[in-house]
Amino acid sequence: MRVFLASIPLPGTSIVVIGAGDAAAAKARLFDGSGAKLRWFAGPAAEPDEAWITRWPEAEDLCGARLVFIALPDPTQSAFFAGLGRTSGAQVNVVDQPGLSDFHTPALIDRDGVVVGIATGGVAPVLAREVRARVEAALPQGLDRLARLAEGLRETVMATLPDFMARRRFWEAAFRGAPRDLAVEGRTAEARREMLRLLNRPEQPKGVVHLVGAGPGDPELLTLKALRALQDADLIIHDRLAPPAVLDRARRDARRIYVGKRRGEHSVPQEQIAELMIAEAKAGHRVVRLKGGDPFVFGRGGEELEAVRAAGIDVIVVPGITAALGCAAAAGIPLTHRDQAQAVSFVTAETRPGGAGPDWTSLAVPNHTLAVYMGVAGAAAVQAGLIAAGRAPDTPVAVIENGSRPDQRVLTGRLDGLARLVAREKVISPALLIVGEVAAWARSSATEQEVAA
């Protein structure tokens, strides 16, 4: 290890910033609301402002300072004030001059009570910021609430669990389980009650089920909340629409159970999936039910939510980018357009056996986009139903296979040739059908084909 990061309590600490301009302002902003006493010397040329002092500091100004930040263009002047700061006993940082600095400012992720720093020893600050962006994506905004909650219960935990390892097991359960989820959601009173329950009955961890939307397939389209759920999961129950690239973002030691379905080939009945989620949650596990797209858009998420709630299990729904949004965007198709589409409908071509099909009459109006899910096998029925209901045969259509993924394929044509297009090009699921004037916007690229119907 070439760099050691230390945590310095800030309330009551004296901090000095020397210099004007953006770099000095950035250093000063670090201490807004920190409780530190900040003195900012902007120099005699600075415009008068209550935020800074319009002169350079003297030796007595630096007495008692813990940290001194210098952001000046003149190296000689910087070296002078650096020496002045060290003489006063302060640690000195000179912006963009690591050789003159006693310490370097890391790239910081600030969650109030929780601060994360990424440091490169001053040699690659831009790289540190890039790493910070990736780490920040995995940290919930409400993490500070969890830290404050832990602070308030610390003495109680110490008194209740004098054994160090028992305390450690308690905090691990609290920070990985339901208390954490409730706290970051803003439900701090419930989180506190759950922590106290864990404290009194540590042998009974409370499980939770997350219904998580995996999006259309591109792992970078996962929401931040979905990513956090995957990285905290004890068990991931996933379908075939969750590609390996998405599962690779999950906690590596989490168990994984595949329950994928395809038309006419249901590997695990829906009732058994619900029973599995309930049993695992009752065992105290954090269960992620990972579903392609969004769990509440043709994903049977409502059925699973109802079953798990009825069993008295906590459920957190994490929406995902549904196929209509993700695939259309990947193909360059706007679902609505002021001139071509004043409405959009999401339709499934697959219905329950014996159930009613879509009302094509209400869906066949012009300037109306249809995003048809699970429509590969039913392409002929979609085509016939819309034309019979009055939709023009030359209405543009697009077929997006594996939308947003590296093997994405986009096919375009006319409504009256939709079934022939799907059959001739051997389209396989997952694929989305888009019917409407906006389908003519479909974009062609090296990984896509444009085929006349």
| Catalytically active residues, by annotation | 239, 261
Tell me the DSSP string of 404-432: TSTT-EEEEEEGGGHHHHHHHTT--SSEE
**3-state helix, strand and coil shares in percent for the chain, rounded to the nearest 5:** 35, 20, 45
Conformation bin of residue 436: beta by default, left when phi > 0, alpha when psi is -120 to 50: left
Q: What's the CA angle centered on 322, arms 316 and 323, to 5 degrees? A: 150
Which token pair is 420? 């022939």
Alpha helices in 233-269 (DSSP H): 244-247
The letter for the amino acid at 380 is A
Q: Which of 448, 408, 445, 412 is nearest to 430 (CA)?
A: 408
Q: Which residues pair with 382 in a beta bridge?
A: none
Q: How far is 3 from 120, CA to CA, in rounded Å?
A: 7
**Alpha-carbon span 309 to 318, nearest angstrom:** 15
Q: Looking up tokens 């109802």, which residue turns up?
A: 306
Q: What is the rounded CA–CA span in Å between residue 206 and residue 186?
A: 19
Helices and strands (H and E) in the chain: how many: 16, 18
Cβ neighbours for 9, distance < 8 A, ≥ 6 positions apart: none
Q: Rounded to an integer, what distance in angstroms lies between the CA atom of residue 440 and that of residue 410?
A: 11
- Show the tokens assigned to 36: 């530190």
| Residues 71-76: contacts with CB under 8 Å, at least 24 apart | 71/17, 71/18, 71/19, 71/20, 71/21, 71/23, 71/24, 71/27, 71/95, 72/18, 72/19, 75/100
8 A C-beta contact, residue 53 and residue 41: yes
Cα 345 from Cα 209, distance rounded (Å)? 30
**Taken in order 55, 58, 63, 69, is the CA torsion positive or negative?**
positive
DSSP one-letter string for 271-318: HHHHHHHHHHHHTT-EEEEEESB-TTSSS-HHHHHHHHHHTT-EEEEE
